[in-house]
Amino acid sequence: MAGMIPVEKDVARFGALFAAAATTTPQPQPCSATSVIVAGMGGSGIAGRLAQALAERCGGLRVSAWSDYGLPAWADGSEHVFAVSYSGNTAETLSGAERAIELGTNWEAITTGGRLAALAHEHSAPVTAVEPGHQPRAALPLLLVPLLRRLTLSGIEAQVAEATEVLAEPAGDAGAIAAQLNGKLPFIYGAGGLATVAYRWRCQIEENAKQLAVHHALPELDHNEIVGWAAPPGNAVIVALREPDEPARVAARWEASRAVAWRDVPVVECRAHGKNPLARWLSLVQLGDAVSVELAHLNGVEPTPVVVIEELKRRLEE
């Protein structure tokens, strides 16, 4: 997208973007629904995935992230729908908003504008305006904070405050990690909410570094994918995203998995920082974003352009 801030610049100030969003985003009355759907794709959709993981960890309400056309078939109008699209022109998210209108459900938009904002204004749905000028995948802090402040998640304001402090610190040695992933096929794993962060790592490596990656969740991977490690790719490397005080059974599963399946495979461990889930997970999001940019440099590619996605959109519009 011409005229937008390059990805690497926004990645370098991920913490500053989050702090700015935490400072400038108002603290509105949380929505009263006990069940919400967050519709969004790609870089916008990750906000919903993180919100769902937080709800599963902290409680307060039920959050369902939705990355597809329309809304799930079980949606009956009793839910509150958040349509999250940085550009405001994401076809799938627009169709979700249209389905919410058909159902007569309460819904609102988080966007910079586009057709989504126009649709919301037409139907008197609230719109949270987000700062324009960023690549959607680099705008996560700007989308996530207003979403979280509309949800009745337990202790969310304290979590936002701690995340602001943690993200003010350097992301870690992204260059050294990128060097270990250069020329490799990364298998990125995380347990609980860090499975969502593993997905973010995969997406950022693929979009920014133009390099394939794989992700999965512990313990689920121990019931299927672990068998595939009997014959691993020669260029495989494990990226293990871990929390500092994991439950004993999770730590034991990491060690057992490594002993059984990854004896001859390099394993890069990355530990989260902070006390609360949001801070911890975003500390590793911040690190993963930085790794993807360093890996782009090692691969000799520009992080910002996503030519394949733009060509796909062009073909779909024909």
Asked if 217 contacts 307 with a C-beta cutoff of 8 angstroms, the reply is no
Answer whether the bond into residue 170 is a cis peptide, omega within 30°.
no
Per annotation, catalytic residue among 79, 108, 207, 243: 207
**H or E, element range at 64:** strand 62-66
Per annotation, catalytic residue among 223, 255, 317, 318: 223
Answer whether the bond into residue 219 is a cis peptide, omega within 30°.
yes
| 62: its two tokens | 């039920």
**H or E, element range at 215:** strand 214-218
- DSSP state letters, 276-299: SHHHHHHHHHHHHHHHHHHHHHHH
Catalytic annotation present for 313: yes
Catalytic annotation present for 215: no
Catalytic annotation present for 273: no
Asked if 114 contacts 88 with a C-beta cutoff of 8 angstroms, the reply is yes
| 261: its two tokens | 């399946």
CA distance 314 to 166: 40
Buried (b) or exposed (e) across 47-64, using 16+ Cβ within 10 A?
bbbbbbbbbeebeebebb
| 85: its two tokens | 């699209």
Residues with active-site annotation: 207, 223, 313
